[in-house]
Amino acid sequence: MSKESCTCPSSICTEDALLFGIVGPDGRVGYVRPPMPVDVAFLGVVSATGGRPEQRFRFAGPCVEGRCAQWTDSRCGAIDLALSAGVVADDEAALPACGIRGSCRWFRQSGPAACRVCPLVITEVRTPQE
């Protein structure tokens, strides 16, 4: 894997994150191209509409590797878990038009298989009281 910094495709909604996907009514992620920087105005709008933004959108941010709860040994456990479920969005279709693939941790780690499961992943953020 390249020593270049990687992008986490399952980041939380923070200022300076990138909005790169929108969860559709069918529960699949549709990709925003190019990804849009999250700013204070966006944070205000999504906060006012209720619910966790991560349940409605997908955000990308820097992969923090060992500082992430999903990190296992030397890799991202989130994509390993998603792939182990054995479900893919569409095994025969072309890879989704994703704006972060060039730096994506999941793609660098697992290649096209990660892209085939990615549209089905919704980021789950837990608060300490959950």
pLDDT, tens digit, for every residue of 2-54?
457 899 999 999 998 999 999 999 999 999 999 999 999 999 999 888 788 99
Task: Report d(CA 14, CA 61) in Å as an integer.
Answer: 9
pLDDT, tens digit, for every residue of 71-110?
998 999 999 999 998 877 766 678 888 999 999 999 999 9
Report the phi/psi class of residue 111: left, alpha or beta, with left for phi > 0 and alpha for psi in -120 to 50: left
Tell me if the pTM is above 0.95: no
